[in-house]
Structure 1
Amino acid sequence: MMSGLPDINSPTLLAGKHVLVLNWRDVQHSQAGGAEQYMHEISKRWVQNGVHVTWFTGRDVGQSPEDVIDGIRILRGGGALSIYGHAALRLVRTGGLLQSGGEFDAVVDCQNGIPFFSPLFLPRNLPIIQVIHHVHQEQFRTRFSPPLAAVGRFLESSGAKTVYGQRSIVAVSPSTRLELRKLGFSGPVHVVPNGTIDIPEEVAARAPHPTIAVVSRLVPHKRLDLLMGQFAVAVRSIPKLRMDIVGDGPERARLQQLAMDLGLDHAVTFHGYQPNEVRDRLLSRAWLTASTSASEGWGCSVIEAAAWGVPCLALRVPGIRDSVVDGRTGWLVDTPQELGTAMVEALTALSEPDSEAVVSAECREWARCFTWDRSTRLLTGAVLEEEKIRRDGGDPRSFHSDLSTLVRFVLPEDADLQSILHRTDEVAVADDGHVAVLMKGRDEFEAFAAMQKIGVTSAELRSAGRTTLLAGPGSAFTPADALDGQ
């Protein structure tokens, strides 16, 4: 935060407080993924800023019941389903979770399809924030028997709405927020995207021949079989095309057999799980990455590739459509059948050095928007807003709007900017000295009325679409026309 601007959501504002995180797994669980990394990176930064953080999470084979990771106290108990019963028993006697006794100051309740239903066991005035990466309604239908699927869909929707009520939710993307609205959640839903890897100072020379790199768990819902089929179409036009697949999972043997059946065993290399440095080396030399997922909360691997200047070709589906800016950091298509042709067109465009340089620069600028420090600030702001509502008896419906407005103006010398900001807003200073504020939950009329309260009578206001909301007010990537689609 630049000098002179209000520090409305610094993690230091939670210093000295105790935060409980309920999460299905911790970062050292054998099946830990993006959801665990998300909450761990934020928790780690909270600890670094003086916050006491305790996790309650499931216990993997070989894991101890208690641990400390990066200063975070970890309590473990229960398996994939029994964790919810263990958590309920622990929450009933909350003091047993705190080494010093007493109560927690806030709870971050991470929902992975099945909620923890923590409000049933905790004081009504305790700030509780749900963190939701994506909605599982379709996964329940396709991966479980009809009776179990019905139970899962109920718990995630009607059950959660009844228990959590108007309590705030954090969604990792506008797509997830939209899916929650479709389920009928009407309280505040704040968008807090994932961070990503540090942007490399230099990008390595790419492979001499067109190469696609895919970093993914090899599981059914990633639908890499669709990618393989369309890759076969592209190879007919680009005989030297190659694909590196980094990752492992239960689908690996089937996908390897499919590659052989399609005559692609010479063109596709399955690298299995690789350490970060190997993964990054393969990404950095790629021309393109790709995604055929039916739905995601957020495209973590898409943004990691973008950090190396590698664009993405993907289906226009929830989560991925947020992570790819169509025509700038990659290309989106509507059906799997379009991928093969689009792959050829994208690689042909990228064969031109000037075009490749422009796309690579756009990708890196886009990835630069997503840092774990920013994610920490935004989640801190959501906690502070919920704390204010619980403390002061505020009306959560004041945040019912999902509209946001980007405001640029010259700040009067004696103006009290902080007095009109929400903790979830973002503030930056542009190169020309103008202040830029991304006002969350307010349309242009409400934003201008707020400006007038501090003596600003002239301001540039634009409705913020998906890309602007994700990029933030200080990014050079924020489009000139902020209304870039919802």
Structure 2
Amino acid sequence: MSGSDGPVSGLHALRGRSVLLVNWRDIRHPQAGGAELYAHQIARRWAAAGVKVTWLTSRPEGAAAREVIDGVQVLRRGGQFSLYPAAASALLRVGSLFDAVVDCQNGIPFFAPAFVPKSTAVVQVVHHVHQDQFGAHFSKPVAAVGRFLEGPVSRRVYRDRAMVAVSPSTRRDMRTRLGARGPVFIVPNGNEPSVLRAGPRDPDPTIVLVSRLVAHKRVDLLLRALPEVLTAVPNLRVEVIGDGPLRRPLELLAGELGLRGSLRFRGRLSDAERDELMQRAWLTTSTSQGEGWGCTVLEAARFGVPCLAIAAAGIDDSVLDGRTGWVVPDAAALGQGVVDALTALADDDTAAAVSDRCRAWASAFTWDRSAELLAGVVGAEITRRGTARRSRRHARSDMATAVRFRVPRDVPAPRGRLTDQVRVDGEHGTALLHGCDELDAESVLARWNVEPVSVELATEEHLLTGVNPLPATSSTAVERR
């Protein structure tokens, strides 16, 4: 392979650019959650790479109007709902000063395309679709307004603007439930590095659940299943970490069900205390109505702890059924599912194998990769808004092809597009080509002058973790799948 600059980097393409990130809360908001962690971890990496990042968000009581956090300029305006008109005003006044706007949807987006010039790139980030959750938190009239804004209004405002989903489930819901029209790319959450347990797991079966105690998490379903589980596993211990408006009702329910000897509500704990409990767990659970991504599932997996989950959007993506945990179809199957999981994990060899798979799965997700992927989408959108030429791949944006190839010695390493996820290590290379079927992908490889090794339509696992590199002994024959 001859010398070249190699694959193009999204972060490199954004260096020196000005990006406005609009999100409901920032990382120091008292109610900051997974969406804020996602935005912060990516924004601070962008700032470190030379991107000028400004974060427009709400201002809780006592918070400064302006603050720099990890190199990111944070501007706070308005409250929980008044942020929306404040953001619209800011976008009208200064939106043209930015190369791109990252519009983070938290149920209701900020409708940035309506307030900035058409030439300004806008990328909408969606963690999960809220159509069902509006009804769990608001009255029927307010929920109907929320659904209308998230669906028909968003569809009209964003049109063909690029969008990002954190999981294949979210992208599927965006297409089927919201009617999203623009290209939708997958940029999953990152994770902290996987770790080995500091000590042995608890001798008795232990479930550790980390969750906000709010309606859509449906923690009550776990509590209602526990009497059945305790009949089969009487020495079970359950630790619930987290707080929220439903803590007191859940404590009362636990008392009614006779669970107080087996179940403890720990409330909010420090990260160190939480991690210490999780490292000793046999199992974690998820009963959520739906998530963009199972953040707590992967946080447990990094300690080698599998998850027993009720099937739900986002959670299905986070748990590899039968490999890093188990997925049951509904609440009726939850109790027996927990019993079966704990029975399987009682075997030390089985538990060790599952634990290894959990850590391997969790280690596939890094914040560095997430920052690079989102930078690639934003950089590509800046380029797309600046040219009248339409991409052949754009119309089939949800189709992607995973390719593996060899780079001959006298051929420069292919650069690809910002969203192609090209990786080259020596003579071996991989890419995830968006908007391509297998024939399109083979044409791309021919233009790159590389030798194709395998070409296959991308799976959901490819979309989440990328394409695994070639083994050193791979054949040069093209493999079509």
Please, what TM-score do these two structures have when normalized by structure 1?
Answer: 0.92
| Alpha-carbon contact 1:314-1:320 (below 8 Å) kept | yes
Taking a change above 3 Å as real, the CA distance of residues 4 and 315 of structure 1, as seen in their structure-2 partners, is farther
How far 1:397 sits from its partner (Å)? 7.0
* Structure 2 counterpart of 1:268, from 263, 274, 289: 263
How far 1:403 sits from its partner (Å)? 2.1
Match of 1:47 in 2: 47
Match of 1:99 in 2: none
Distance 1:9 1:34 in 2: 26
Taking a change above 3 Å as real, the CA distance of residues 141 and 33 of structure 1, as seen in their structure-2 partners, is same
| Comparing 7-16 and 123-132, the one that deviates more | 7-16
Percent identity over the alignment? 47
Instruction: Verify: 1:327 aligned to 2:325, yes or no.
Output: no
| Comparing 296-305 and 260-269, the one that deviates more | 260-269
Taking a change above 3 Å as real, the CA distance of residues 358 and 476 of structure 1, as seen in their structure-2 partners, is farther
Match of 2:312 in 1: 317
Distance 1:288 1:110 in 2: 32
**1:395-447 superposed Cα distances (whole Å, 9 cap, x missing partner):** 3673333122221221122334535x2211223457x9632222223221211
| Alpha-carbon contact 1:166-1:396 (below 8 Å) kept | no
Distance 1:335 1:150 in 2: 26
Match of 1:20 in 2: 20
**1:189-219 superposed Cα distances (whole Å, 9 cap, x missing partner):** 0000001122225553111111011000011
Distance 2:76 2:204 in 1: 48
The one-letter code of the counterpart of 1:442 is C
How far 1:285 sits from its partner (Å)? 0.5
Distance 1:458 1:245 in 2: 50
The one-letter code of the counterpart of 1:45 is R
After superposition, where does 1:300-449 map in structure 2 within 5 Å?
300-395=295-390, 398-399=393-394, 400-419=396-415, 421-428=416-423, 434-449=428-443
Instruction: Verify: 1:191 aligned to 2:186, yes or no.
Output: yes
Match of 2:462 in 1: 468
Please, what TM-score do these two structures have when normalized by structure 2?
Answer: 0.93
Match of 2:277 in 1: 282
The one-letter code of the counterpart of 2:223 is M
Match of 1:238 in 2: 233
Distance 2:225 2:420 in 1: 42
Taking a change above 3 Å as real, the CA distance of residues 467 and 5 of structure 1, as seen in their structure-2 partners, is farther
Q: Which runs of 5+ in 2 are unaligned?
A: none
Taking a change above 3 Å as real, the CA distance of residues 340 and 483 of structure 1, as seen in their structure-2 partners, is farther
Taking a change above 3 Å as real, the CA distance of residues 141 and 256 of structure 1, as seen in their structure-2 partners, is closer
Match of 2:446 in 1: 452
How far 1:272 sits from its partner (Å)? 0.3
Match of 1:98 in 2: none
| Alpha-carbon contact 1:203-1:309 (below 8 Å) kept | no
* Structure 1 counterpart of 2:166, from 165, 168, 172: 172
Q: Which runs of 5+ in 1 are unaligned?
A: 96-101
* Structure 1 counterpart of 2:212, from 193, 214, 217: 217
Distance 1:187 1:151 in 2: 23
The one-letter code of the counterpart of 1:411 is V
How far 1:457 sits from its partner (Å)? 4.8
How far 1:27 sits from its partner (Å)? 0.7
| Alpha-carbon contact 1:169-1:190 (below 8 Å) kept | yes
Taking a change above 3 Å as real, the CA distance of residues 457 and 66 of structure 1, as seen in their structure-2 partners, is closer
Distance 1:378 1:262 in 2: 47
| Alpha-carbon contact 2:113-2:157 (below 8 Å) kept | yes
* RMSD, aligned CA: 2.2
How far 1:356 sits from its partner (Å)? 0.9
| Alpha-carbon contact 1:219-1:250 (below 8 Å) kept | yes
Taking a change above 3 Å as real, the CA distance of residues 36 and 311 of structure 1, as seen in their structure-2 partners, is same
| Comparing 193-202 and 280-289, the one that deviates more | 193-202
How far 1:266 sits from its partner (Å)? 0.8
Taking a change above 3 Å as real, the CA distance of residues 157 and 416 of structure 1, as seen in their structure-2 partners, is farther
Instruction: Verify: 1:89 aligned to 2:89, yes or no.
Output: yes
How far 1:26 sits from its partner (Å)? 0.7
Match of 1:254 in 2: 249
| Alpha-carbon contact 1:172-1:298 (below 8 Å) kept | yes
Distance 1:224 1:30 in 2: 22
Distance 2:464 2:112 in 1: 29
Distance 1:154 1:412 in 2: 54
**1:80-126 superposed Cα distances (whole Å, 9 cap, x missing partner):** 1110111111122107xxxxxx7111110111111211112211111
Number of equivalenced pairs: 471
| Alpha-carbon contact 2:7-2:424 (below 8 Å) kept | no
Which structure has the higher relative contact order (CA within 8 Å, separation 6+)? 2
Taking a change above 3 Å as real, the CA distance of residues 202 and 151 of structure 1, as seen in their structure-2 partners, is same
| Comparing 392-401 and 124-133, the one that deviates more | 392-401
The one-letter code of the counterpart of 1:296 is E
* Structure 2 counterpart of 1:128, from 105, 115, 122: 122
Look up the SS of the partner of 1:125 in the other structure: coil
How far 1:4 sits from its partner (Å)? 6.5
* Structure 1 counterpart of 2:99, from 100, 105, 111: 105
| Comparing 312-321 and 117-126, the one that deviates more | 117-126
The one-letter code of the counterpart of 1:175 is S
The one-letter code of the counterpart of 2:377 is A
The one-letter code of the counterpart of 1:308 is F
Look up the SS of the partner of 1:94 in the other structure: helix
| Alpha-carbon contact 1:427-1:474 (below 8 Å) kept | no
**1:318-357 superposed Cα distances (whole Å, 9 cap, x missing partner):** 0000000111000001011111111111111111111111
Match of 2:75 in 1: 75
| Alpha-carbon contact 2:4-2:412 (below 8 Å) kept | no
